[in-house]
Amino acid sequence: MGLLSTLRKQKLKDKEIRLLMLGLDNAGKTSIVKRLLGENVHEVSPTLGFNIKSVSYDRYTLNIWDVGGQASLRPFWRNYFEKTDAIIWVVDASALDRLHDCKSELDKVLDEDRLTGAGLLILVNKIDILQSTKLREQVLHIVTDTLQITAIKNHNCNVVLCSAYTGENLTEALSWTTTEVKKRLYMFD
């Protein structure tokens, strides 16, 4: 039996899902992970390199690889692509002026063969600063259009408005991601 077969069987046995969390710097990736772990989201410093945290959800262990988003770190993102089951791409709702940079970086990630087929969850973070439902809908529309979500073909994709600060919609985000990966990898579960 080959090494890859052994690793795949172990993964199925352990019910592990590998999530790669990416996005531009200051989008709130680490804050989201901290909120999911029940940690203080008020004391967060920029991620230099990466952090790996595990969250139990729906009988699965979600191993979240939180990778720094500074421009100097982005060329190294490709080092984390192997065995990724789903990508969580975090967008800062308070920095829409950076959406074109965000689109450019997302396109580079989605062009990577090693990520073909991985689920794609786009979290539009920091919606707690958007006071009205209408404003939230406008931001969602702008993000969806600018990132050209409907043109993404090699990934099941979903966009969720969320807040690391309040925890809003993070459970829904985990639910979608887990369900998406289960459909592809754990068909007989």
**Cα 61 vs. chain centroid, distance in angstroms?**
15
8 A C-beta contact, residue 162 and residue 174 = no
User: For residues 23 and 91, is the Cβ–Cβ distance under 8 A?
Assistant: yes
Q: Verify whether residue 131 is a known catalytic residue.
A: no
Encode burial over 126-154: b for 16+ CB neighbours within 10 A, e otherwise.
bbbebeeeeeeeebbeebeeebeeeeeee
| Catalytic hit among 70, 131, 138, 148 | 70
- The rounded distance, in Å, linking the Cα atoms of 110 and 151 is 11
**Strand spans (E) along the chain:** 16-23, 50-57, 60-67, 86-92, 119-125, 157-161
Q: Which residues are catalytic?
A: 70
